[in-house]
């Protein structure tokens, strides 16, 4: 990486904090750690990280609660580490503002790949406005509205919607979405795309699946 990104690792287990700090440091990141939500919030203010890796199951305020509070920093990429593999838990994390999640135990190289992909996309700043149906996206201000009302998207939801807006009417497979939005091959995890699509539909008031259409056996398409 050309730029040295700052990462905050939040986990109540010292061994995991130390392991991630050492490993990510060797990959070129500048890393600080926190053992709980209170320390994490104090560190964010002083350290201004580009990304936060947050464990879900912590005493006191858990990772979901911390994520909601960290969402006040709109350009902060948040990746949740969780031992919970239920779809409901993933949806909660995304609804609370996380950009991605990784289920424990995880592969370290995959963690780095997800971080690099997410950070690359957050750093982009193009001068384009897209409109489709009731949706308007301003890629300069990173503001999105539906039916004229501003909506808040996570970084991953934003990139997913942007990819759909760039390809109206085109059927995009789950693998295509994974490769474009997440920036790496991650075969077999269809839930990752499905959860983000579901969350995005709710936020743009597309509960009838008219705007983001499911093409069974193929993928998703933005309208006709």
pLDDT of res. 73: 77
E strand spans, 1-142? 6-10, 30-34, 51-55, 77-82, 100-103, 129-132, 135-138
The better pLDDT of the pair 94, 9 is held by 9
pLDDT of res. 18: 94
pLDDT of res. 1: 38
Domains assigned to the chain: 6-123 (3.40.50.2300), 129-222 (1.10.10.10)
- Average pLDDT of the residues in 41-63: 89
Residue pLDDT, tens place only, 163-218: 898 888 889 888 888 877 876 545 546 688 999 999 999 999 998 899 999 999 88
- Average pLDDT of the residues in 55-78: 87
Cβ pair 5, 52 in contact under 8 A: no
Say yes or no to pLDDT of 127 above 70.
no
- Taking the C-alpha atoms of residue 171 and residue 218, their distance in angstroms, rounded to an integer, is 7
Cβ pair 182, 117 in contact under 8 A: yes
pLDDT of res. 2: 45
pLDDT of res. 32: 94
CA 171 to chain centroid:
22
* DSSP strand pairing (149-151 vs 6-10): unpaired
Tell me the three state secondary structure of residue 49. Answer: coil
Tell me the three state secondary structure of residue 130. Answer: strand
């Amino acid at each position: 990486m050309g730029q040295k990104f700052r990462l905050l690792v939040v986990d109540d287990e010292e061994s995991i904090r130390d392991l991630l700090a050492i490993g990510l440091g060797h990959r070129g990141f500048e890393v600080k750690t926190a053992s709980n939500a209170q320390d994490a919030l104090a560190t964010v203010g002083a350290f201004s990280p580009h990304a936060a890796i947050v464990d879900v199951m912590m005493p006191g305020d858990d990772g979901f609660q911390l994520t909601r509070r960290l969402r006040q920093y709109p350009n902060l990429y948040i990746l949740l580490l969780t031992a919970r593999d239920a779809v409901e838990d993933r949806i909660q994390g995304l609804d609370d503002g996380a950009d991605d999640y990784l289920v424990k135990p995880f592969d370290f190289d995959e963690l780095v790949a997800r971080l690099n992909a997410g950070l690359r996309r957050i750093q982009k700043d193009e001068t384009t406005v897209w409109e489709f149906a009731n949706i308007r996206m301003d890629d300069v201000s990173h503001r999105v509205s539906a039916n004229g009302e501003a909506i808040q998207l996570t970084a991953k939801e934003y990139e997913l919607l942007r990819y759909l807006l760039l390809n109206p009417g085109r059927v995009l497979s789950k693998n295509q979405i994974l490769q474009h939005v997440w920036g790496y091959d991650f075969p077999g995890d269809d839930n990752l795309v499905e959860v983000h699509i579901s969350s995005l539909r709710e936020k743009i008031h597309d509960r009838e699946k008219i705007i983001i259409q499911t093409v069974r056996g193929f993928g998703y398409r933005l309208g006709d």
